[in-house]
Structure 1
């Protein structure tokens, strides 16, 4: 077995172990349940509002969008924050000192974030199937459509988060350059209301980034065909969704290892200690 494959296996095992531990940690369980509960609560209060131009409730139309938006938020913002935090506490430096350690670290981090994201989506999706009857859930092709959208969405967004986390100096920087911009993209990407209600120039900006396409893909997978009336061009644009997400995934996956490698090579014990002292001052 090659050293790289062995490192990936160890990293994946670490990611799986950390995820399993989170399922037995009260704070993490509360986080999953509260986050899912908040989304379900918002959708429940939207159930009696009908979207103009369709017979669908705003809750039915918004639920798939929120699934896509939450995936992008957790994969991009979560990856950025996690990597920035682990640069600060020295985890990345320790990974660099082990042969192929960085490869294993990245594999474990990707699996851990992917699993926690999918768990949160499941907490929202399963009750929604019973709460909102207009969702299309009896078609296997629709579920397969949802699976490839979620997979490509993770590949398109998570490496971007890792790049941001590698470039910022601390978790606060991850908030500034990762989480807050992602929230801005969610606001203009048709996640909370139809994108056709936005100004044309905002529609153009949103279509550059993967967040819009993840939301469009999840809507195409779970909504009836009548819902396409509120989409741009009255089309689900599945081929374009696959192309854009795949393009983002390829570019991000090519860039992320180089950025992470450069960041890891620049890590030293003195830099980690300085960041830890700075963190202690912020807490104090």
Structure 2
């Protein structure tokens, strides 16, 4: 119990230190938020375009979806990328030799990613309050929705990020994950309601957590008139909890198994082999 407690404390300390480093370094903070800035800029120009069949602007519809992208992209891609890079440079091999070293490492990464998601949310909500009309930010129930969405969304996405990070062989392969994730964002109603999509595509979109993250975020920030653009004209909160909870359970069952298999494969010889391959590629 004492060893486990020490691992948790070390993980929290590690995550807190890494989060402070990112927040205090303008370059690191900018690199984590630059994609948001790129997506927020077009929102300003869409603020006068109305969503068909509603009195909600396209900008107001897209802005809550950016909150879901903050969770989805940071939880999945950011964690996966960090796992791949730090496996490549030997960090995970060193931690493997410590009692519960991988546990403390993952706790630290979860804290870091959760902190960055919270910073991104503040940036999105702040920009939304300034740039977009039609958001409903003054009701307590809407903030309560955001409060349960953030931890549940992270629980659904972070284990998936750990799984992908364990399976990807090198940092150069991250793009193989990014492309399908961006494609999934497109069909998940991030930029356009999926109610008008073919039925088979609606089913595909609802099978993945990103759609439910976006739906819950829209329910928190948009007026009831926006329901005209949603499937069944309902926010479906209970379905959202079940869907995200199911992905969280699935991820938490799969992630420890995949991480243990990845840790067993790590050794000095595998590190040396990766270094040799990297040197040959540079030489070529």
Question: Which TM-score bucket, shorter chain as reference?
Answer: over 0.9
RMSD: 1.5
Query: Separation in 1 of the partners of 2:203 and 2:15?
Result: 37
Query: Separation in 2 of the partners of 1:233 and 1:4?
Result: 47
Any residues of structure 2 matched to 1:174-185 within 5 Å, and which?
174-176=174-176, 178-185=177-184
Runs of 4+ aligned structure 1 residues displaced above 3 Å come to 279-284
Corresponding residue of 1:20: 20
1:212 Cα deviation after fit: 0.6
Question: What SS class does the counterpart of residue 39 from structure 1 fall into?
Answer: helix
Query: Separation in 2 of the partners of 1:29 and 1:173?
Result: 24
1:33 Cα deviation after fit: 4.7
Q: In the TM superposition, what whole-angstrom CA distance separates every residue of 1:8-45 from its partner, at most 9, and x where no partner exists?
A: 11011101101101122232132245333222212111
1:76 Cα deviation after fit: 0.6
1:283 Cα deviation after fit: 5.0
Corresponding residue of 1:257: 256
Corresponding residue of 1:158: 158
Query: Separation in 2 of the partners of 1:194 and 1:172?
Result: 33
Pairing 1:267–2:266 present: yes
Corresponding residue of 2:144: 144
1:175 Cα deviation after fit: 2.5
Q: In the TM superposition, what whole-angstrom CA distance separates every residue of 1:177-205 from its partner, at most 9, and x where no partner exists?
A: x3222111101000011111322211111
Q: Structure 1: state its 5+ residue gaps.
A: none
Compute the TM-score of the two structures, normalised by the length of structure 1. Answer: 0.95
Is the CA contact (8 Å cut-off) linking 1:23 and 1:29 kept in structure 2?
yes
Query: Separation in 1 of the partners of 2:97 and 2:33?
Result: 37
Are the structure 2 counterparts of residues 281 and 58 from structure 1 closer, same or farther at C-alpha, using a change threshold of 3 Å?
farther
Is the CA contact (8 Å cut-off) linking 2:76 and 2:158 kept in structure 1?
yes
1:282 Cα deviation after fit: 4.3
Question: What SS class does the counterpart of residue 133 from structure 1 fall into?
Answer: coil
Any residues of structure 2 matched to 1:27-106 within 5 Å, and which?
27-106=27-106
Is the CA contact (8 Å cut-off) linking 2:47 and 2:133 kept in structure 1?
no
1:279 Cα deviation after fit: 3.2
Query: Separation in 1 of the partners of 2:80 and 2:149?
Result: 21
1:173 Cα deviation after fit: 2.6
Number of residue-to-residue matches in the alignment: 283
Deviates more, 1:187-196 or 1:18-27: 18-27
1:57 Cα deviation after fit: 0.8
Question: What SS class does the counterpart of residue 23 from structure 1 fall into?
Answer: helix
Corresponding residue of 1:220: 219
Deviates more, 1:214-223 or 1:269-278: 269-278
Any residues of structure 2 matched to 1:163-242 within 5 Å, and which?
163-176=163-176, 178-242=177-241
Are the structure 2 counterparts of residues 47 and 167 from structure 1 closer, same or farther at C-alpha, using a change threshold of 3 Å?
same
Question: What SS class does the counterpart of residue 196 from structure 1 fall into?
Answer: coil
Query: Separation in 1 of the partners of 2:197 and 2:280?
Result: 43
Question: What SS class does the counterpart of residue 4 from structure 1 fall into?
Answer: helix
1:273 Cα deviation after fit: 2.1
Compute the TM-score of the two structures, normalised by the length of structure 2. Answer: 0.95
